Structure formats: C-alpha cells, structure tokens
Structure 1
C-alpha cells in the first residue's frame, strides 16, 4: 500500500513538471494571470513559513520559536546575510528558551 502511494505521488509530481516544460510555449497567459500566479506562489510560501513558525503538529510551538522567526524576518527585510539571519534567529530562540520563555 505505502509503496503504491509513493509511486503514484512520484508519477504525479513528474507529470506536473513535464507538463510545465511541454506546455510552456503553448500556453499563453495574460499579464494579470501571470501576476496572480506569481503572487499566489509567494503567498503560499509565506503561509507555509508562518505555519511552521507558529505550530508544531496541532499545538502552538511557543513564543521562543516565534521570537526567533521574527528576528530572522526583520534581518531578511534589512537584507542581512544568510548566515547572520540563521545565527541571530537560532541565538534568539535559544536565549528565550534559556530565560524560560516557552
């Protein structure tokens, strides 16, 4: 059962990717549709990031993790380097947990 599901998902993923390559020149999108697709992709990635920051399973992940994500987001907004963003976010989360913030 599990192997069948994995094979079906793999084939579906391959088919979607192949459709993008095959239909790239044949499918003409208007400019408003192109913008909507672009914005929806950004919104989806943002929603996944927020969900990962706020929830762990079905429970609230805690304020320490959320604080680290906020610090990281501010540094990204200020165009800090990737290493700076990661280290600052991890350090913020660790410090908040050390101080007893759940």
Structure 2
C-alpha cells in the first residue's frame, strides 16, 4: 500500500467522523431507523466476538477458547468484578489447554 492511499484513507476516516459530529443536531432519524441502527451496532459487536472466539488462522480455534469465553460471559452476567472475569476466562482456557483440550 502506498503512502498516498494511507493518507487518503486517513483523511476519509477523519471526514466521516467529523461529519457525524457536525450533522448530529441537523439530521434526525425516524425512530424505527434509530432502533435498527442500535441493533446493527449490537449485531456487529456480537459478530466480532464470535469470530474472535471460534476462529484462528482461518480455522476452528478449538474448544478451550469458547469455554473460556463462556465462563467469562457467565461471570460478567453475574456482575463479577472485571479483573476476576478476565482471570476466570483466561484460567479456564489455560487450564483446558494444559489438560490437552485444543
């Protein structure tokens, strides 16, 4: 990739973000479209989590990582402190991998 392409993409990203700030008070979305926008952001976040959980190098990541994510999700749902959520998820994954679970 050339520097001109990097600079053009950076400028485009900046302008899109600036447009959001400048047009926030001028453009109003219908309630249905605003709701769909919120749902779209949630769906995108879940898709990123699912991709990171189940895939590695273009293939299945194994069962240890999804198990760790599940333990972390349950701990977060139970409102466990964040540091403990991370330790539980990582510990579960590491423990399963130590036992030979891929």
Q: TM-score, normalised by structure 2?
A: 0.93
- Tell me which residue corresponds to 1:83: 83
What displacement does 1:64 show?
0.7
Match of residue 19 from structure 1: 19
Distance between the aligned counterparts of 1:91 and 1:2, measured in 2? 42
Deviation beyond 6 Å, 4+ runs, structure 1: none
Distance, in Å, in 2 between the alignment partners of 1:2 and 1:100 is 44
Q: What's the TM-score, normalizing by structure 1?
A: 0.93
Gaps of 5+ in 1: none
What is the aligned length? 102
* CA distance in 2: counterparts of 1:58 and 1:35, whole angstroms: 33
Give 5+ residue unaligned stretches, structure 2: none
TM-fit CA distance, 1:46: 0.9
**Alignment RMSD:** 1.1
